[in-house]
Amino acid sequence: MTKADLVDKVTALGDLTRRDGEIIVETLFESVIGALKSGDKIEIRGFGSFRTRQRNSRIGRNPKTGEKVDVPAKRVPFFKPSKELRDSVNAKAGKPAEVDAEHIDPHHPPAM
């Protein structure tokens, strides 16, 4: 799903113009990004939580030349799905997930 697809879904929910849908989706994304930049944690019940994690500095390797490279410490965004989301994505035990043949991504086929 792309950002445009998400805007289409929001627009289809009610009597909204495409521009209204774009504003809603953009506001949501900007709010999440702003909170993460300021170090806040975002928790959406039934969906999951977003926060940042600190990565320590390390010595990496340039794969092309093999040369050692210093990688500085940094904060990275991290998403932890809720139990409800994990359960809804995973099939029930012993029951395989239904595969919609029309919507199979040729680059990421379902596991058999």
More confident residue, 103 or 77: 77
* 106 has pLDDT over 70: no
Average pLDDT over residues 36-42: 95
What's the confidence (pLDDT) of residue 14?
A: 85
Cβ atoms within 10 Å, residue 7: 20
Residue 81: count of CB within 10 angstroms of its CB = 13
Ranges of each domain in the chain: 1-40, 41-89
CATH fold, domain 41-89, is HU Protein; Chain A (4.10.520)
What per-residue confidence (pLDDT) applies to 104?
Answer: 63
Q: Is the model's pTM score more than 0.75?
A: no
pLDDT at 52: 96
Task: Report pLDDT for 15.
Answer: 86
Summarised one tens digit per residue, pLDDT across range 49-98 is 999 999 999 999 999 999 999 999 999 999 999 999 999 998 665 555 56
To which H or E segment does residue 21 belong? helix 18-37
Give every CB contact of residue 46 below 8 A, 6+ residues apart in sequence: 82, 84, 85
